[in-house]
């Protein structure tokens, strides 16, 4: 469903966050908002950490 299987972004944090979308297929519809919130939080954390990475 997510269309992200087998794709690699090159950033492990982003890959882990997007892998969370794979949980949607087995999760009941009522659990989808929580999954999306978790993925969104992880992506925000990865984005916020960009400035902390060495150039």
Domain that holds residue 39: 12-50
Number of domains in the chain: 1
Q: Is residue 6 part of a domain?
A: no
Q: Is residue 3 part of a domain?
A: no
Evaluate whether 16 touches 46 at the Cβ level (below 8 Å).
Answer: no
Q: Say how many Å lie between the first and final Cα of the chain, rounded.
A: 35
Provide the pLDDT for residue 53: 62
Provide the pLDDT for residue 39: 97
Report the chain's C-alpha Rg in angstroms: 12
Provide the pLDDT for residue 27: 97
Provide the pLDDT for residue 28: 97
Tens-place pLDDT, residues 1-55: 455 566 799 999 999 999 999 999 999 999 999 999 999 999 999 999 887 766 5
Closest among 46, 45, 6, 11 to 22, alpha carbons compared: 6
Q: Is residue 55 part of a domain?
A: no
């Amino acid at each position: 469903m997510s269309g992200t299987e087998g794709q690699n972004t090159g950033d492990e944090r982003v890959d882990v966050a997007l892998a969370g979308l794979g949980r949607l297929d087995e999760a009941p519809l009522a659990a989808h908002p929580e999954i999306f919130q978790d993925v969104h939080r992880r992506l925000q954390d990865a984005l916020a950490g960009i400035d902390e990475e060495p150039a």
